[in-house]
């Protein structure tokens, strides 16, 4: 019972980190928040793996720390300006964004309960579904390519959580997904470094 409560606490912390990432303006802070989120997720997986004596989960958790938490933040930080005010994101009304984030959170909790009821309720799955929508909102609501990529990272974390709630995928698939995301990150940093914000081109309309 206590064990489950500890795990639920980690899930709550992951969701809080997603809300925090919505509201942060300094990009270096945001990268740190998503790194913390990935570490929390890997801690969850490692603890679950130890309790269930599942070595595959432990390996997955360790790989998430190395590939997603450590390498990702290293790549992204390398592209950020050392002056945090230079890489500060400017967006509209923070209070509006926070309200929308909370509404999306409530919507995702309700939707999960309606859609995934036949599979039985799992807190980690519910948390993953909520994080998925937070990631999508981060991608859709920002012009900063860094923010959009962090939204994508949240989405990938969400898929891992959702997968744990539904069924653990074979380790080879999980590792390949992690490596795929890393490859995508490397390609993305090449593109991000040119113009850090999305632009509007007349020729790309219509």
Residue numbers at the binding site for another protein (CB under 8 A): 115-116, 118-119, 132, 135-136, 139, 145, 148-149, 151-152, 155-156, 158-159, 162-163, 166-167, 169-170, 172-173, 176-177, 180, 183-184, 186-188, 190-192, 194-195, 198-199, 201, 203-204, 206
The two structure tokens encoding residue 115: 């859609």
The two structure tokens encoding residue 71: 């390498």
Residue position matching structure tokens 């390949």: 176
Question: CB-wise, 9 or 191, nearer to another protein?
Answer: 191
Q: C-beta of 115: minimal distance to another protein in Å?
A: 6
Q: C-beta of 5: minimal distance to another protein in Å?
A: 26
Q: C-beta of 126: minimal distance to another protein in Å?
A: 14
Question: CB-wise, 3 or 198, nearer to another protein?
Answer: 198
Rounded Cα gap, residues 32 and 21, in angstroms:
9
Q: C-beta of 154: minimal distance to another protein in Å?
A: 10
Q: C-beta of 145: minimal distance to another protein in Å?
A: 6
Question: CB-wise, 53 or 117, nearer to another protein?
Answer: 117
Question: CB-wise, 109 or 116, nearer to another protein?
Answer: 116
């Amino acid at each position: 019972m206590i064990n489950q409560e500890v795990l639920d606490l980690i899930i709550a912390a992951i969701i809080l980190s997603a809300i925090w990432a919505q509201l942060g303006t300094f990009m270096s802070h945001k990268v740190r928040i998503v790194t913390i989120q990935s570490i929390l997720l890997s801690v969850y997986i490692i603890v679950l793996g130890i309790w269930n004596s599942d070595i595959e989960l432990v390996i997955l958790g360790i790989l998430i720390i190395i590939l997603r938490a450590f390498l990702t933040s290293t790549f992204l930080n390398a592209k950020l300006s050392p002056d945090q005010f230079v890489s500060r994101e400017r967006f509209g009304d923070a209070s509006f964004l926070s309200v929308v984030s909370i509404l999306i959170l409530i919507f995702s909790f309700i939707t999960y309960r309606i859609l995934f009821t036949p599979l039985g309720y799992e807190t980690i799955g519910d948390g993953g579904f909520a994080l998925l929508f937070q990631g999508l909102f981060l991608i859709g609501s920002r012009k900063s390519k860094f923010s959009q990529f962090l939204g994508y990272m949240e989405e990938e974390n969400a898929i891992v959580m959702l997968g744990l709630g539904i069924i653990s995928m074979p380790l080879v698939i999980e590792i390949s997904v992690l490596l795929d995301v890393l490859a995508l990150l490397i390609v993305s940093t090449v593109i991000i470094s040119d113009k850090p914000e999305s632009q509007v081109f007349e020729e790309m309309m219509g």
